Amino acid sequence: MKVYVCHGTWKPAPRPGGHPCGRAYHSLKDAGYEPEVIKVHGMALLPELFNRSAGRKEVERLTGQRWVPVLVTDDDEVVQGSYEIEAWAKAHPAAAAAPSATA
| CB distance 85 to 28 below 8 Å | yes
As a whole-number percent, the residues of the chain with pLDDT over 70 amount to 79
Q: pLDDT digit string (tens) for 43-62?
A: 655 556 555 677 888 999 99
Domain membership of residue 102 (yes or no) is no
Grouping H, G, I as helix, E, B as strand and the rest as coil, residue 3 is strand
Domain membership of residue 14 (yes or no) is yes
Range of the domain at 84: 2-93
Domain membership of residue 13 (yes or no) is yes
Average pLDDT over the chain, rounded to an integer: 84
What does the alpha-carbon distance between residue 69 and residue 80 come to, in Å, rounded to a whole number?
A: 6
**Higher pLDDT residue, 19 or 96?**
19
Structure confidence at residue 63 (pLDDT)? 95
| CB distance 24 to 83 below 8 Å | no
Q: pLDDT digit string (tens) for 13-41?
A: 677 778 899 999 999 999 999 999 999 87
Domain membership of residue 41 (yes or no) is yes
Domain membership of residue 57 (yes or no) is yes
Q: pLDDT digit string (tens) for 57-78?
A: 899 999 999 899 999 999 999 9
Structure confidence at residue 103 (pLDDT)? 45
* Domain containing residue 38: CATH number: 3.40.30.10
How many distinct structural domains can be found in the chain? 1
Domain membership of residue 50 (yes or no) is yes
